[in-house]
Amino acid sequence: MLPAQKTERGSYRSNVIHRGSSKVTNSLFLRIQNRFPADLSSILIETPTGQTYSYGDADACSAQIAGLLTSLGAKKGDRVAVQVDKSPEALFLYLGCIRAGLVYLPLNTAYQAGELSYFMENASPVIFVCQPHREAEVKAIADAQGVAQVLTLGMEADGSLMADAASRPTAFEPVDCADDDLAAILYTSGTTGKPKGAMMTQMNLWSNASTLEKLWGFTSEDTLLHALPIFHTHGLFIACHCVMLSGSKMFFLPKFDRDQVMSLLPRSTVMMGVPTFYVRLLSGDDFTADVTSNMRLFISGSAPLLPETFTAFKERTGKALLERYGMTEMGMATSNPLEGERIVHTVGPALPDVDVRVCDEDGTVLGTDEIGVLEARGPNVFAGYWKMPEKTAEEFRQDGFFITGDIAKIDAKGYVHIVGRSKDLVISGGFNIYPKEVETLIDKMDGVVESAVIGVGHPDFGEAVVAVIVAEQKDALSEDAVITDIKSQLANFKVPKRVFFVDELPRNAMGKVQKNVLREEYKALFAN
Ligand code: AMP
């Protein structure tokens, strides 16, 4: 066996695979590892600065991390919470966790102290990996919540995680896992204001990954332009799994940067993005058929794609965006086809192993083109919400269908049309915001009687958060004061872009606030 080659960034450079023994058969990690290319020097990741990481590097580094985490006492089924910037090592940390049978719990870097405290209390992780500059803050919260270990990982592989992992062996026998063992918990905002931890099993992630890699025609010839965050299902599971299962390569951008994307498009073949990415690309005349000529596929999802964007994209590039639909709780559920008709304003038919139907509130299945709530069932659908059995029971039908909360219809061709959201979710720049969470904080402020938070159409973000407040006294509160207060407590994407003060909120006969009336009133707020 060859020793790993040392580099300045770590000790994990390796082109030797350390496969597990044959007795371990169905762990998610092993299934992914078995798809690594025979030539382990094949590139998995290239960064915008041209630094490359091979499949062998991913294998060796994930082994070292798995070894470190287990040496710190993490055992199969324990949670490892991760709030770090996107980097190759952050992906290897995910692989290290599933290699060791640990439950990976990614968190948006925008989350603030109060939110972190809730996640630590709710999920009781044994290890928390944070950005180096937030170590002291996170340690204080971890101490209060009884989280034993805090490690750090920076964008340049700086911090204690990689320093401590460097001395660990580059081999690690993958821990045996059953299909229904947990692989990850992803928090999704709750209508009650408290985020819910969606429990994803080994099979949930594997089934979705293997289906999509095939459906979207990934091969080792592909290069994915990866500009999504990796704390969300879209960028982490959908994008990275498609790449690793096909032995292809990805350009790993820390975030969406239009100039970087434009310069890498000619060397890429596939891009996955939220609609905002495509709106931003279309905003410059330099986004042309020429610059996209090497691209075989652009995929859009996580928020509704406006028909204007679909049409402008086709006119400009000659290519039809492929829109798909999914959510944290189930990964992907439907997709427009690779071959065949991609229909604007639809999210395509159900994936091969997924069943979808539209029902009324009582669960009666509705017919073609009838509008109701979309339900889905399949190996991709999550195992329930962590420590919330009642909430889980509420969202599943007796026959195993998950009630998505999205309002939809299914046409005669079997294509699903998403027509709205029953849960009042606001999606801004691809991130979900449940109004209740923001409203609860506003209502606690001195001088506030009540508030309503809505999403208003925004040319860049898709939707922007807007707060409408009834104050005890006119002019006692200012827009700036409210925004500053919320900013100190919540991730930036949840902070209202505008705040309005009104005498009273519009209500229906049942006393419910009519958010549709507010949305109508403020709909032109961000119009150009
Ligand atoms: P998340 O859990 O962050 O992935 O958000 C899931 C929600 O995003 C879904 O419940 C939908 O409301 C919305 N969503 C995802 N994809 C689409 C799409 N293609 N069109 C419309 N809404 C979408």
CB 277 within 8 A of CB 460: no
- Sign of the alpha-carbon dihedral angle for 480, 481, 487, 490: negative
- pLDDT score of 371: 87
Q: Does 160 reside within a domain?
A: yes
C-alpha 200/C-alpha 94 separation (Å) is: 14
The radius of gyration of the chain's CA atoms, rounded to the nearest angstrom, is 23
Pocket lining: 328 vs ligand 1, CB cutoff 6 Å: yes
Of the residues 177, 192, 227, the one at which a domain ends? 177
pLDDT in tens, the chain (528 residues): 233 333 455 556 666 665 544 455 689 999 999 999 999 999 999 999 999 999 999 999 999 999 999 999 999 999 999 999 999 999 999 999 999 999 999 999 989 999 999 999 999 999 999 999 999 999 999 999 999 999 999 999 999 999 999 999 999 999 999 999 999 999 986 545 588 999 999 999 999 999 999 999 999 999 999 999 999 999 999 999 999 999 999 999 999 999 999 999 999 999 999 988 998 999 999 999 999 999 999 999 988 888 889 999 999 999 999 999 999 999 999 999 999 999 999 999 999 999 999 999 889 999 999 988 999 999 999 999 999 999 999 999 999 999 999 889 999 999 999 987 676 778 898 887 878 889 989 999 999 988 999 999 999 999 999 999 999 998 889 999 999 999 999 999 999 999 999 999 997 654 557 888 899 999 999 986
Assigned domain for 414 exists: no
CATH number of the domain that residue 91 is part of: 3.40.50.12780
- Bridge-based pairing state of the strands 149-152 and 196-201: unpaired
> Within a 10 A sphere around the Cβ of 473, how many other Cβ atoms?
8
Q: What is the pLDDT of residue 242?
A: 98
Q: Is residue 17 part of a domain?
A: yes
Cα–Cα–Cα angle for 271, 31, 20, nearest 5°? Answer: 130
Residue 193: predicted pLDDT: 59
Mutate-to-test residue for ligand 1 from 302, 380, 432, highest number of ligand atoms within 8 A of CB = 302
Ligand 1 atom with minimal separation from the 233 CA: 4
Whether the CB of 233 sits within 6 Å of ligand 1: yes
Kindly provide the residue ranges of all beta strands, DSSP E only, lying in 416-491, ordered along the sequence.
Answer: 416-421, 426-428, 431-433, 448-458, 462-471
Give the global pTM.
Answer: 0.85
Q: Phi then psi for 378, rounded to 5 degrees? A: 165, 175
Give the C-alpha separation, 188 to 232, whole Å.
9
- Map tokens 């023994």 to a residue: 21
Nearest CA to 161 among 172, 150, 175? 150
- For atom 5 of ligand 1, the residue with the nearest CA is 327
**Strands 182-188 vs 270-273: parallel, antiparallel or unpaired:** unpaired
The residues facing 356 across adjacent strands are 376
Cβ atoms < 10 Å from Cβ of 308: 11
CB 203 within 8 A of CB 27: no
| Residue 79 belongs to a domain | yes
Sheet containing 448-458, strands listed edge to edge, beginning at the edge strand earlier in sequence: 448-458, 462-471, 498-502
The residue whose C-alpha atom lies closest to atom 21 belonging to ligand 1 is 304
Q: Ligand 1 mean position to 460 CA, how many Å?
A: 17
DSSP 492: G
Among residues 17, 360, 308, 27, the alpha carbon closest in space to that of 181 is found at 27
pLDDT of residue 343: 96
Adjacent-strand bridge partners of 295: none
| Residues 126 and 97 sit within 8 Å (Cβ to Cβ) | no
The pLDDT score that the predictor gives to residue 440 is 87
Domain boundary residue, one of 146, 177, 208? 177
Q: Is 347 in the pocket of ligand 1 (CB under 6 A)?
A: yes
Which of 107, 299, 324, 327 to probe ligand 1 with, by most ligand atoms within 8 A of CB?
327
Q: Is the CB of 323 under 6 A from ligand 1?
A: yes
Which pLDDT score, from 0 to 100, does residue 307 have?
87
Q: Whose CA is nearest to atom 15 of ligand 1?
A: 302
CA-nearest of 39, 49, 45, 44 to 17 is: 39
Q: Residue 114, SS3?
A: helix
DSSP string, 490-502: S-GGGS-SEEEEE
Ligand 1 neighbourhood includes 273 CB (under 6 angstroms): no
Ligand 1 atom at minimal distance to the Cα of residue 418 = 21
Say if residues 321 and 313 touch (Cβ distance below 8 Å). Answer: yes
Using the mean position of ligand 1's atoms as its centre, give its distance from the Cα of residue 303 in Å.
Answer: 5
User: What is the per-residue pLDDT for 423?
Assistant: 63
How many whole angstroms from 160 Cα to the centroid of ligand 1? 36
First to last CA, the chain: 62
Cα of 228 vs centre of ligand 1, distance in Å, is 15
CATH number of the CATH domain containing 456: 3.30.300.30
Domains of the chain: total: 2
**Ligand 1 atom closest to residue 431's alpha carbon, by position in its atom list:** 3
Which residue owns the Cα nearest ligand 1 atom 10?
327
Is 438 contained in some domain? Answer: yes
Per the domain annotation, does 204 fall within a domain? no
Whether 336 maps to a domain, the answer reads no
pLDDT at 431: 86
CA of 99 to the centre of ligand 1 (A): 29
301 CB within 6 A, ligand 1:
yes
**Residue 124 covered by a domain:** yes
Nearest-5° angle of CA 360, CA 366, CA 369?
A: 115
Out of 119, 145, 177, a domain closes at 177
Closest by Cα among 130, 114, 106 to 197 = 106
455 closest CA partner among 498, 416, 398 = 498
The Cα–Cα gap between 105 and 356 comes to 28
Range of the domain at 107: 5-37+55-177
Lateral strand order in the sheet of 355-359 = 355-359, 372-377, 402-410, 416-421
